[in-house]
Structure 1
Amino acid sequence: MTGFPMLRKERKMNVKDAENFLEKSEVGRLAMCHNNEPYVVPMLYYYDQKNNEILLHCAKKGRKIEAISSNNSVCFEVDEMKSIVSADVPCEFDLLYRSVIATGKALLINDQEMKAKALNLIFEKYASLKGSMPIDADMAKGTQIIQIRISDIVGKEAKGATIPYP
């Protein structure tokens, strides 16, 4: 992340691997600040590598909408815990994992055509829409689309035990 150097540089993922992991992960966590308090919520999403954005859908009202309306700086995180590496000494245990954090600005999309396009992308990721009627602008009226314009993506991965810590 910008301004915060990664302590374990050997665990930094290259950008392409981080983007691919973000694209393939199933659940992400949207982190916001609401009334000077942190707020994180798990969400289904679509990552558009070409446009460098994340698309989310939610209700038109609620804490997410209030938080983004007052402070649109957000981050979005995905992770995968692979396994715990045991050791004879508790402080030498390790965790094999992957995680990616994307930071950026969240925008509330209100254009019905854009909302329909985003919903179709999100639903296509999670369920085959083949043979189904696509979502149109009229169907999209009842939902809110959040578009995160990504400014930075950082991935971190522990592939094998790397004890002792520096």
Structure 2
Amino acid sequence: MNKAFTKETDADDEDEFPAPRLSASGKNYITPEGYERLRLELLDLIDKERPKVVDIVHWAASNGDRSENGDYLYGKKRLREIDRRIRFLTQRLEIAEITDPGIHYGNDQVFFGATVTYADDQGHERTVTILGVDEAISAMGQISWISPVAHALLKARKGDEVTLVTPQGTQLLEVLKVDYPKAGRAVGKG
């Protein structure tokens, strides 16, 4: 049977990578900066990227045989990826609960949006910023508020020792410093 008459399966629309999980409460906390970054990505996909790919697919389809047309096949695949990302971003933004960490500026207790410096049992210091699951970038020292480390640190104060349970055993973490951005300042950038 000719490929032109086969229906793409629903499996083609399945996400390769599952969405980051939410907390047991179903909350999707995000900073104003994180929300804006996701919103701008969504608008860019809708207004620029998708129309550009649609034009390429349309042009490639007009060239004839689609079964061996690389531009057409790649374009259709890219279009599915873009549509999948648009659906994902739309769903995540709809359930997002924007939380401004700047309201805690000057506080020494750990809440969402805090930048925390802590020391482990061996005295190794680490600084992390606790952010939403859709905005945390581990390479930048950002962790999700539902991660085990964040769970251990949340609600602790400077000077407190908290217990972190890991597969390798239990660790004791000492909170050395707690910082929040001033209202209107980007989170995790200073």
- Same structural fold, with TM-score higher than 0.5 when normalized by the shorter chain: no
Which structure has more helix as a fraction of its residues?
A: 2
| Length-normalised TM-score, structure 2 | 0.27
Which structure has more strand as a fraction of its residues?
A: 1
Higher relative contact order (CA 8 A, sep 6+): 1
Larger radius of gyration: 2
| Length-normalised TM-score, structure 1 | 0.30
